[in-house]
Amino acid sequence: MQLQDATVLITGANRGIGLAFAREALARGARKVYAGARNPASVTLPGVEAIELDVTQPGQVAAAAQRCGDVTLVINNAGIANLGGFLAEGGIESARAHLETNFFGLLRVSQAFAPVLAANGGGALLNVLSIASWINTPMLSVYGASKSAAWALTNGLRHDLRAQGTQVLGLHMGFVDTDLTRGIEMPKSTPQDIVRRAFDALEAGAEEVLGDELTQQVKRGLSADPGIYLRDARA
């Protein structure tokens, strides 16, 4: 799918990777960019149309699909990432919160916009996933579980939407220098580099993109014996 003349909806577009997606979409000639955010006033990028969109709120998602009936590309970027493990105090509540945004939010938006994409020729879904879809650490174990679920959902959506001609692209990456990773001392990619790779892959017709070298190494390690996912990712 080409960005030139596309109409793009981005969830969580007011900062971080979502903001970088909006900037790059405009730079590549998108006809229109809807920038979804819980607080539309927080969207300050010139040239985009801010809309109120909390992916955990079914009414807001339905309203967005009705309002944005010209969309040809949906970027499911909205997500949360809180530190903590499964056995920590509040682990169940944390898991529910992560799944509500990172899994059910993605599903909710995809369900609402699949008919819109079909009506506009098929278009594409670009789902922002993570290296944590495949490996885990105690620090991010609950987050990782939600991204594993989102990866499975992305794979299922790819098959569900193939008949209507919708390209489904899963974006995996390691740490990116955004507000979500502030305080984590690890090598980080820039949002701009990740977004450029994602859009290059989208325009090439790909179904999966590995945003950095570490993610490429981890993907290769999934078929190792023992698999890389059997180790603590900090090791």
Give catalytic status of residue 229 as yes or no.
no
Count of helix runs (H) and strand runs (E) in the chain: 7, 7
Show Cβ contacts of residue 119 under 8 Å, excluding neighbours closer than 6 positions.
69
Q: What distance in Å separates the CA atoms of residue 75 and residue 116, rounded to the nearest whole number? A: 14
3-state secondary structure of 190: coil
Amino acid at position 96, single letter:
R
Q: Output the CA–CA distances (angstroms, integers) from residue 185 to 81, 128, 177, 232, in the order listed.
A: 15, 22, 10, 17
The answer to whether the Cα torsion of 192, 158, 58, 181 is positive or negative is negative
Residues listed for the chain: 235
3-state secondary structure of 205: coil
Give catalytic status of residue 34 as yes or no.
no
Report DSSP letters for 53-109, one per residue.
--TT-HHHHHHHHHHTTT-SEEEE---------TTSTTHHHHHHHHHIIIIIIHHHH
Per the residue annotation, which of 32, 34, 143, 219 is the catalytic one? 143
**What are the residue numbers of the active site?**
143, 147
